[in-house]
């Protein structure tokens, strides 16, 4: 591009001649502004239109998020099942076997400090993931406690089985039609002194020599003569239970011997303070005599039990 100017002295029009530096500066300026414009366009373009790689990343990100949401939903469902298990454990199994329910604090345990999850939320820039981690942690702890509780319940069930074998649960003499029940537990008139007296056990009439059974598994704790009771045998069943068999003709066991339910331990007699051949039977729980009629549950149907209750309330035939 040619340029001209007027020379003020000669007033002639002269051609302006530019040096090399002028042209360098000038072209440099053009290039620089062009580059600036290019950079601006470049950034605007990439801000508005993602690149194929970015598109791929965005898609992956969306997929991951929906997967995390799916897992989150499944963890929620697992939590519902877990709660059901815990409730069943506390309300049924643990109560059934006489164990205290597990407090909620123990079940969920000391979870991590909330700041841990806050940090996680910042790190992954996703509250969702932090929530998920918190839920899984709680669930994990609950599952651990639950498994331990089941171990405990299993142990209790085993103990319960032994307990059921040990506690008195049959009649001490064969008594199919219940005709042998003479007198039950409670206040009675003494057959000899005709005064009011508390009868600590149940009397079964039976001929001398009738077999007497241990009413539950246990260990013979006493064999010998007791004042008023005559020849007596006692069985320690554990779990706080003891049974006593009195007025015997003859004991057929020795102290320390282990016996099973329905083992023959003695023969019916008429020894001690007794007005006729019969077996006097007592059930003790933690050292105190309790009503034996509640300890025949392996022997009696509900109807027979009702009959037993009626018969044991019979006042007339206490044989002491
Ligand atoms: Zn009696």
pLDDT value at residue 216: 97
Residue 110 burial (CB < 10 Å; 0-12/13-18/19+)? Answer: exposed
Q: In angstroms, what is the span from residue 221 Cα to ligand 1's centroid?
A: 20
Task: Please give the distance, rounded to the nearest whole angstrom, from the Cα atom of residue 202 to the centre of ligand 1.
Answer: 5
Judge whether 187 and 196 are in contact, CB under 8 Å.
yes
The verdict on residue 173 lying in a domain is no
Query: What predicted TM-score, i.e. pTM, was given to this entire model?
Result: 0.60
Residue 120 banded pLDDT, cuts 50, 70, 90: low
Does residue 320 lie in a domain region? no
- Structural domain of 40: 4-48
Query: Does residue 56 belong to any structural domain of this protein?
Result: no
Q: What's the burial of 288, exposed, middle or buried (CB within 10 Å: 0-12/13-18/19+)?
A: exposed
List phi, psi (to 5°) of 20: -60, -45
Q: Are residues 24 and 94 in the same domain?
A: no
Residue 280 Cα to ligand 1 midpoint, Å, equals: 4
294 occurs within a structural domain: yes
3-state secondary structure (DSSP) of residue 87: helix
Do the domain assignments include residue 253?
Answer: yes
How many angstroms is it from 225 CA to the middle of ligand 1? 16
Q: Which of 187, 165, 178 is nearest to 237 (CA)?
A: 165
Q: Could you tell me the distance, in angstroms and rounded to a whole number, from the CA of residue 83 to the centre of ligand 1? A: 53
Both structure tokens of 75:
């963890």
Number of domains, the chain = 3
Model confidence pLDDT, tens digit, residues 59-92: 888 888 888 888 888 888 888 888 888 887 877 7
Please state the rounded mean pLDDT for residues 27-31: 91
In a domain, 67, yes or no: no
Span from the CA of 195 to the centroid of ligand 1 (angstroms): 15
- 41 C-alpha to center of ligand 1: Å? 112
CATH number of residue 192's parent domain: 2.70.70.10
Residue 171 falls inside a structural domain: no
**Which band of pLDDT confidence, cut at 50, 70 and 90, is reported for residue 124?**
low
Are 191 and 289 members of one domain? yes
Q: What is the mean pLDDT of residues 13-37?
A: 87
176-211 confidence digits (pLDDT tens) = 888 898 888 988 888 778 888 899 999 999 999 999
- In this predicted structure, the answer to whether residue 112 has a pLDDT above a threshold of 70 is no
pLDDT of 265 over the 90 cut: yes
Both 228 and 288 in one domain: the answer is yes
- Angle formed by the axes of helices 127-166 and 114-124, to 10°? 140
């Amino acid at each position: 591009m040619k340029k001209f100017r007027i020379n003020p002295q000669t007033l002639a029009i002269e051609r302006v001649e530019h040096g090399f530096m002028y042209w360098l500066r000038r072209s440099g300026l053009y290039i620089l502004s062009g580059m600036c414009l290019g950079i601006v366009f470049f950034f605007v373009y990439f801000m508005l239109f993602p690149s194929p790689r970015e598109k791929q990343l965005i898609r992956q990100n969306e997929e991951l998020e929906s997967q995390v949401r799916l897992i989150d939903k499944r963890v929620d469902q697992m939590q519902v099942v877990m709660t059901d298990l815990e409730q069943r454990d506390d309300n049924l199994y643990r109560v059934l076997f006489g164990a205290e329910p597990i407090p909620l604090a123990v079940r969920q345990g000391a979870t991590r400090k909330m700041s841990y999850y806050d940090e996680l939320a910042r790190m992954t820039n996703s509250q969702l993931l932090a929530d998920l981690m918190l839920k899984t942690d709680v669930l994990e702890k609950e599952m651990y406690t639950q498994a331990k509780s089941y171990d405990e319940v299993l142990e209790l069930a085993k103990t319960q089985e032994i307990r059921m074998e040990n506690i008195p649960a049959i009649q001490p003499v064969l008594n199919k039609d219940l005709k042998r029940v003479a007198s039950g537990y409670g206040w009675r008139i003494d057959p000899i002194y005709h005064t009011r007296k508390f009868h600590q056990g149940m009397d079964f009439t039976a001929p001398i020599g009738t077999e007497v059974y241990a009413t539950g598994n246990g260990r013979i704790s006493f064999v010998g003569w007791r004042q008023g009771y005559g020849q007596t045998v006692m069985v320690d069943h554990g779990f706080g239970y003891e049974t006593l068999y009195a007025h015997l003709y003859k004991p057929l066991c020795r102290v320390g011997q282990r016996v099973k339910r329905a083992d023959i331990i003695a023969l019916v007699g008429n020894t001690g303070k007794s007005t006729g051949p019969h077996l006097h039977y007592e059930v003790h729980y933690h050292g105190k005599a309790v009503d034996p009629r509640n300890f025949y549950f392996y022997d009696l149907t509900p109807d027979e039990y009702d009959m037993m209750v009626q018969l044991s309330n019979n006042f007339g035939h206490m044989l002491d």
